């Protein structure tokens, strides 16, 4: 049994679900960001798996993956700056305590 594209799709679907679970159920904002990074990585691995199994002679998928990684890095920088700003305000990184907009 060779490793097929379906194996990679299964793996990335599972890892994406793990990241989603962490992003939705944890209380610490930093770990929520970690879950978002896990989801990003699962998506990019999907791109590379499709490139490997279907469009191996084209470089488009690799370039797209590089752009996606750059955007993920920028997102993580801004997200962590937001976490630090929110921490300055609330003295906490617990998402449950950030409820100013809640009536």
Partner 1 sequence: MEIAFWILSAITVMGAIMAISLRNVMHCLLSLILFFFGIAGHYFLLHAEFLGAVQILIYIGAVAVLIALATMLTRHITGEEGPREVLGGKWWAGMGTAAIIAGLLWAIIRKDALARLLPTEAANISYTALVGDIGRALVADWVVPLEAMAVLLTAALIGAVVIALEEVIRKR
Q: Which of residues 37-56 bind partner 1 (CB under 8 A)?
A: 37-38, 41, 44-45, 48-49, 51-56
Least distance in angstroms from the C-beta of 43 to partner 1: 11
Picking from 49, 37, 68, 51, the residue whose alpha carbon sits closest to that of residue 11 is 49
Least distance in angstroms from the C-beta of 7 to partner 1: 7
User: Is 100 an interacting residue with respect to partner 1 (CB under 8 A)?
Assistant: no
Nearest 5°: CA angle at 46, between 64 and 71? 40
User: Is 36 an interacting residue with respect to partner 1 (CB under 8 A)?
Assistant: no
Give first-to-last CA distance, the chain, whole Å. Answer: 57
Picking from 19, 68, 75, the residue whose alpha carbon sits closest to that of residue 44 is 68
C-alpha to C-alpha distance for 30 and 13, rounded to whole angstroms: 23
User: Is 98 an interacting residue with respect to partner 1 (CB under 8 A)?
Assistant: no
User: Is 1 an interacting residue with respect to partner 1 (CB under 8 A)?
Assistant: yes
User: Is 57 an interacting residue with respect to partner 1 (CB under 8 A)?
Assistant: yes
User: Is 2 an interacting residue with respect to partner 1 (CB under 8 A)?
Assistant: yes
């Amino acid at each position: 049994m060779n490793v097929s594209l379906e194996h990679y799709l299964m793996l990335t679907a599972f890892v994406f679900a793990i990241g989603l679970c962490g992003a939705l159920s944890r209380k610490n904002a930093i770990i929520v960001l970690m879950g978002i990074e896990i989801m990003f990585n699962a998506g990019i691995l999907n791109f590379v798996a499709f490139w490997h199994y279907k469009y191996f002679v084209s470089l488009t998928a690799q370039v797209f993956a590089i752009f996606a990684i750059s955007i993920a890095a920028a997102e993580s920088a801004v997200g962590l700056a937001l976490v630090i700003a929110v921490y300055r305000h609330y003295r906490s990184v617990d998402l449950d305590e950030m409820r100013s907009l809640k009536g």
